[in-house]
């Protein structure tokens, strides 16, 4: 019998009839626990180092073509339009990959916005329910506030994709943070790893003016 046995579930461990001297059980919290039994009793402790297991390095390898810098410039132009001296609102866009044309494109959903919150009213049905399109990234603005991912962002951003936030849009050079994640776990990424020639300063590139009709501003 092996010196140590491994179990994914407590129920599997309890059903086993012939335990090793030391047993490792995976917990719901993502930690490993060691179970030892003797005449004295049963001891369950967190096990931070299990020599039989191999090192796993967290990370992210981007498998898609880099995103064109023009799409970022278009996005920032849209964000700046809603961050003026008189009124500052958050807005957002989505970035998709078309598997047929093998190109990226931007989508602006219908949204209700304010200085501190965005609520999407309507996503494009043909994009959501077609296997042709894959959402790659969600980017939102923080108007004149600094760029950071809030607790609301952490709660909302559950799908496996890229997420961006842009702040200090009233500056010539705004701030931008980029990350990839899924279900509350995130890895920060440099802009140049995802975007081709990312430029954050203002350019001559504008955004589709019909996007203005998709944004409803609240008080």
pTM over 0.95: no
Q: Cα separation of 197 and 215, whole Å?
A: 29
Count of positions (residues) in the chain: 219
Strand order in the sheet with 4-7: 4-7, 22-26, 32-38, 41-46
Beta bridge partners, 32, equal 26
Q: Are 111 and 118 in contact (CB under 8 A)?
A: yes
Q: Are 62 and 90 in contact (CB under 8 A)?
A: no
- Angle CA 94–95–99, to nearest 5: 135
Q: Cα separation of 26 and 44, whole Å?
A: 12
CA–CA distances in Å: residue 12 to residues 28, 47, 48, 180, 200? 14, 19, 21, 34, 53
CATH for 67-217, options being 3.30.200.20, 3.40.140.10, 3.30.70.20, 2.60.40.10: 3.40.140.10
Nearest Cα to Cα of residue 114 among 95, 94, 92: 92
CA–CA distances in Å: residue 205 to residues 47, 57, 65, 72, 119? 54, 40, 22, 10, 26
Domain residue spans in the chain? 4-46, 67-217
Which residue positions in the chain have pLDDT lower than 50? none
Predicted local distance difference test score (pLDDT) of residue 2: 63
């Amino acid at each position: 019998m092996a010196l140590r046995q491994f179990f994914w579930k407590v129920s599997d461990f309890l059903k086993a009839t012939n335990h090793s001297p030391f047993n490792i059980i995976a917990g719901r919290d993502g930690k490993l626990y060691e179970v030892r039994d003797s005449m004295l009793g049963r001891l369950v402790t967190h096990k931070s180092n299990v020599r039989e297991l191999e090192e796993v390095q967290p990370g992210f390898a981007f498998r898609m073509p880099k995103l064109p810098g023009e799409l970022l410039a278009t996005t920032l132009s849209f964000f700046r339009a809603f961050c003026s001296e008189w009124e500052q609102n958050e807005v957002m866009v989505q970035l998709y990959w078309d598997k047929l044309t093998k190109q990226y494109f931007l989508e602006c959903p219908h949204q209700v916005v304010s200085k501190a919150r965005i609520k999407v009213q309507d996503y494009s049905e043909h994009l959501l329910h077609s296997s042709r399109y894959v959402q790659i990234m969600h980017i939102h603005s923080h108007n004149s506030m600094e760029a950071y991912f809030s607790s609301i962002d952490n709660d909302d951003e559950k799908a496996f994709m890229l997420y961006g936030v842009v702040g200090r849009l009233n500056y010539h050079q705004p701030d931008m943070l980029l990350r990839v994640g899924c279900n509350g776990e995130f890895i920060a990424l440099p802009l140049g790893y995802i975007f081709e020639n990312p430029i954050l300063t203002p350019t001559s590139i504008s955004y589709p003016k019909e996007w203005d009709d998709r944004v409803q501003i609240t008080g």
